[in-house]
Amino acid sequence: MTKRRWIVLASLFAGAVCLTLAVLALLPPRVSVTKANYDRIEEGMTLKEVVGIFGGGPHWTEEDDEETYHCWIDEDGIAYVVCSGNQQFVRKEWRAAPRVSLLDRIRIWWSCWREPPA
């Protein structure tokens, strides 16, 4: 093979790798906070069991004197779980997230890249 062919092949390979990485970056992450997983949560479960269903801890937690509020956020929606003082599940709530198209995701990414938040 000539030197020119090696350069062309290396360029094509590098381009294919870059294109693959770009496509993978635009794909949504694996979802664990889904409506199906939310429906598996039953009253009387412990927080540890709920964390096991969602595959990770809550995104935020807030406590008051008697109850602790936990929130998981994902592309499918937002799951709220309220635990009593002994960390037993008391009640839950699901709010579906609005769907965002791929073009809108690119626009959001582009606007954040061009003008980072203050």
Mean pLDDT per 10-residue section of the chain, whose length is 118 residues: 87 91 74 83 87 85 87 84 83 83 78 58
- What pLDDT is recorded for position 118? 46
pLDDT of residue 12: 92
pLDDT of residue 11: 93
Run of H or E including 93:
strand 89-96
35-96 folds as Beta-lactamase Inhibitory Protein; Chain:B, domain 1 (3.30.1450)
Decide if 62 contacts 105 (C-beta within 8 A).
no
Those residues with Cβ within 8 angstroms of residue 41's Cβ, 6 or more apart along the chain or in another chain: 50, 53, 79, 81, 89, 92
Among candidates 67, 72, 89, which has minimal Cα distance to 37?
72
What's the predicted TM-score (pTM) here? 0.56
DSSP H helices, the chain, are 3-26, 35-40, 47-54, 102-114
Classify residue 71 as exposed, middle or buried by CB count within 10 Å of its CB (0-12, 13-18, 19+): middle
